[in-house]
C-alpha cells in the first residue's frame, strides 16, 4: 500500500513556509528593519555557504546530510525491533543527555498524545515513554518508583560511551536488572552508540546487547534522524519513514541555488545581518504545545553550534546568538512584555500551525458579561491563531524583528521537514560566521573538569588546576 508521503501533491501541500515580512524595513520600520539592499549585500556570502555545504555533504561532520537517504536497512531493523518492544514492554526509557535526549523528547511531544503516558494501554498500544536526561538523584528514584525494571526496555544512547551522566544511569539500571533478571538482564538493554570506538560498543559486545549505530559523521545535536531518534519514535508508533521523507523533501529545497527559493538560506542570511547589528538573542516561540520541546531542541542546536570563541582562522570572535525558548500563548503573559518594550537585541521566531489536529468550540455562557460572552461560538483554534497574529502585530509596531515559520499541520512529515530545516539553517549560519559548527570546546572543558573532580585517571593535571583556583571568600556569601 502506497504511503501518503509518496504522493507528490500531498508532499507539496505539507511544505513549510517562511514569512519574513516583519524583518523588513517596510513593515518593522527603517530603524530596525532590513532593506533588500542589505540582504543582497550578504547574498554572495550565503551562496558561498551553500556551495561549501554542497561540496562537503556526507563528509566529515556533515554525515547528517545523508541520513534522509541512506538508512533503508536500518529503518527496517528499527521497525522490527520496535514492534517487539511494543508487544512485550510496559515501559521504554531513554538514557541519554543533550542531543540524545532533546530530539526524542521533541518528537514525542510533537507526534504523540499530549497525555500519552496517562492513556490506558489499550488506547496507547505501546509502552509508556520516559527520557532520563539528568543525574539528579531524586529524578532517578522517582523513575524507579513508577516503573518495574523487569517490565522495561532501556535505550542507552552515547556515542563515546564515556558520557558520565548516561553511563551513571546505565550502571545503576543494569545492576538493578541483573539483580532482578540475572542472565536475561541483557534483553532489556538496547545500546545506541558508535560502531567503531568507545566504551559502550565494548560493553554491548561483551554483554550481547541489541545495538544500533550512530554514524561517525553525525554529532549529537544533529542525530535525531539516525537511530538516536528513530528507534524511540518507532517504539511510540511514529512513522519514521515519513519523518525521513519530510527531511528528504526539505533537503531538496535547501539545496536550491536560487536564493529566494531557499528558506533556510534566506533565514541564515537574515540572522547573519541581525547578529552583526547586535541582535544577540534568538527567541523560539511555537504556538502549539506539540512544538514546545522543538524549542528546547533548537536551543542546543543553535547555541552549541554557533557559540564559539574563535573562528576557523583562530581569530577571537566570541560568535553566537543566545537562544531562548518561549511558548505561545503561555509566555505572552510572562516574556512578551520584555520582547515588546525591552532592549532591541532580539529576533523572534514564531512557529505557527495552519490546521490543528483537533477543533474545540468555545461553549455558550456568561450572556450577561459581554467581556466574556464575545468568545462564545468561536473555537480555541481561532483564539490561539488570533493570539499569535496579535503578538506578531504588537511586536511589529514596536519595531521588533520577528518572522514566522508555518507548518500546514503537525505530522511526521512536517516534523522531519522542520528539524532538517533548522539543521540546514544552522549549517549555513556557521559557514557565514566562519566558525566550526560541529565542535564544542566549551562543553569539553566542563566535562574534563568533572572527570578531574571525580578522580578519573588521566585528568590529574586538570585536578591540580582546579585545586589551585582561588578559594571562595566568606564575605561574598550572604
Concerning whether 447 is annotated as a catalytic residue, the answer is yes
Closest residue by Cα to residue 410 from 353, 467, 459: 353
Starting at the edge strand found earlier in the chain, the sheet holding 128-132 runs 128-132, 91-95, 152-157, 189-193, 210-213
| Direct distance between the N- and C-terminal alpha carbons of the chain, in angstroms, rounded to an integer | 68
Closest residue by Cα to residue 228 from 69, 104, 72: 104
Q: CB count, 10 Å around CB of 429?
A: 28
Residues 93 and 39: their CA atoms lie apart, in Å, by 46
Residues 243 and 413: their CA atoms lie apart, in Å, by 5
Active-site entry in 132, 304, 417, 431: 304
The DSSP bridge pattern shows strands 152-157 and 210-213 to be unpaired
Q: How many CA atoms are closer than 13 Å to the CA of 173, on its beta-carbon side?
A: 31
Query: What is the greatest pairwise CA distance in the chain?
Result: 75
Collapsing DSSP to helix, strand or coil, 74 comes out as helix
Residue 5 cell numbers, joined: 508521503
For residues 286 and 351, the answer to whether their CB atoms sit within 8 Å is yes
Residue 18 cell numbers, joined: 517562511
Closest residue by Cα to residue 189 from 73, 97, 89, 83: 89
- DSSP state string for 369-421: -HHHHTTTTSBHHHHHHHHHHHHHHHHHHTT--EEEEEESS-SHHHHHHHHHH
For residues 414 and 362, the answer to whether their CB atoms sit within 8 Å is no
Active-site entry in 115, 141, 252, 333: 333
CA distances from 280 to 81, 319, 323, 352, 356 (A): 44, 9, 9, 23, 32
Residues 288 and 454: their CA atoms lie apart, in Å, by 42
* Peptide bond preceding 170 in cis form (omega within 30 of 0): no
Residue 390 cell numbers, joined: 496579535
Concerning whether 333 is annotated as a catalytic residue, the answer is yes
The angle, 0 to 180 degrees and rounded to 10, between the axes of the packed helices 99-111 and 227-235 is 30
* Peptide bond preceding 430 in cis form (omega within 30 of 0): no
Active-site entry in 45, 90, 447, 462: 447
Locate cell 523528547: which residue?
105
Locate cell 585517571: which residue?
457
Annotated catalytic residues are 304, 333, 447
Amino acid at each position: 500500500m502506497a504511503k501518503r508521503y509518496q504522493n507528490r501533491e500531498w508532499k507539496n501541500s505539507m511544505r513549510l513556509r517562511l514569512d519574513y515580512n516583519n524583518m523588513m524595513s517596510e513593515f518593522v520600520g527603517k530603524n530596525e528593519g532590513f532593506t533588500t539592499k542589505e540582504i543582497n549585500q550578504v547574498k554572495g556570502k550565503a551562496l558561498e555557504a551553500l556551495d561549501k555545504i554542497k561540496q562537503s555533504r556526507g563528509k566529515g561532520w556533515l554525515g547528517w546530510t545523508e541520513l534522509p537517504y541512506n538508512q533503508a536497512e536500518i529503518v527496517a531493523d528499527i521497525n522490527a525491533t520496535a514492534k517487539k518492544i511494543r508487544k512485550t514492554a510496559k515501559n521504554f526509557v531513554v538514557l541519554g543527555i543533550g542531543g540524545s535526549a532533546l530530539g526524542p523528547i521533541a518528537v514525542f511531544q510533537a507526534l504523540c498524545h499530549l497525555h500519552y503516558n496517562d492513556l490506558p494501554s489499550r488506547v496507547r498500544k505501546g509502552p509508556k515513554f520516559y527520557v532520563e536526561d539528568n543525574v539528579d538523584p531524586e529524578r532517578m528514584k522517582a523513575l524507579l518508583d513508577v516503573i518495574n525494571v523487569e517490565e522495561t526496555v532501556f535505550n542507552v544512547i552515547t556515542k563515546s560511551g564515556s558520557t558520565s551522566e548516561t553511563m551513571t544511569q546505565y550502571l545503576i539500571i543494569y545492576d538493578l536488572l541483573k539483580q532482578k533478571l540475572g542472565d536475561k538482564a541483557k534483553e532489556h538493554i538496547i545500546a545506541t552508540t558508535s560502531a567503531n570506538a568507545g566504551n559502550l560498543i565494548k560493553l554491548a559486545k561483551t554483554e550481547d546487547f541489541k545495538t544500533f549505530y550512530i554514524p561517525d559523521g553525525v554529532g549529537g545535536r544533529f542525530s535525531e534522524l539516525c537511530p538516536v531518534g528513530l528507534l524511540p519514535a518507532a517504539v511510540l508508533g511514529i512513522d519514521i519513514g515519513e519523518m525521513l521523507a519530510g527531511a528528504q523533501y526539505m533537503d531538496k529545497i535547501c539545496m536550491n541555488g536560487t536564493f529566494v527559493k531557499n528558506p533556510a538560506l534566506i533565514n541564515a542570511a537574515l540572522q547573519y545581518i541581525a547578529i552583526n547589528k547586535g541582535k544577540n538573542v534568538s527567541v523560539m516561540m511555537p504556538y502549539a504545545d506539540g512544538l514546545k520541546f522543538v524549542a528546547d531542541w533548537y536551543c542546543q542546536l543553535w547555541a552549541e553550534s554557533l557559540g564559539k570563541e574563535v573562528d576557523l582562522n583562530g581569530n577571537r570572535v566570541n560568535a553566537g546568538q543566545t537562544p531562548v525558548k518561549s511558548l505561545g500563548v503561555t509566555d505572552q503573559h510572562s516574556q512578551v512584555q520584555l520582547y515588546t518594550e525591552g532592549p532591541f537585541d532580539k529576533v523572534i521566531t514564531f512557529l505557527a500551525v495552519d490546521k490543528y489536529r483537533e477543533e474545540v468550540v468555545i461553549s455558550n455562557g456568561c450572556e450577561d458579561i459581554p467581556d466574556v460572552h464575545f468568545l462564545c461560538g468561536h473555537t480555541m483554534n481561532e483564539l490561539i491563531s488570533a493570539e499569535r497574529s496579535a503578538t506578531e502585530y504588537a511586536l511589529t509596531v514596536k519595531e521588533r524583528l520577528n518572522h514566522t515559520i508555518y507548518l500546514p499541520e503537525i505530522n511526521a512529515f512536517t516534523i522531519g521537514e522542520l528539524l532538517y530545516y533548522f539543521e540546514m539553517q544552522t549549517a549555513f549560519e556557521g559557514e557565514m560566521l566562519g566558525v566550526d559548527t560541529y565542535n564544542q570546546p566549551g562543553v569539553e572543558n566542563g566535562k574534563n573538569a568533572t572527570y578531574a573532580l571525580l578522580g578519573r585517571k588521566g585528568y590529574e593535571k586538570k585536578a591540580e588546576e582546579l585545586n589551585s583556583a582561588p578559594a571562595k571568600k566568606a564575605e561574598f556569601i550572604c
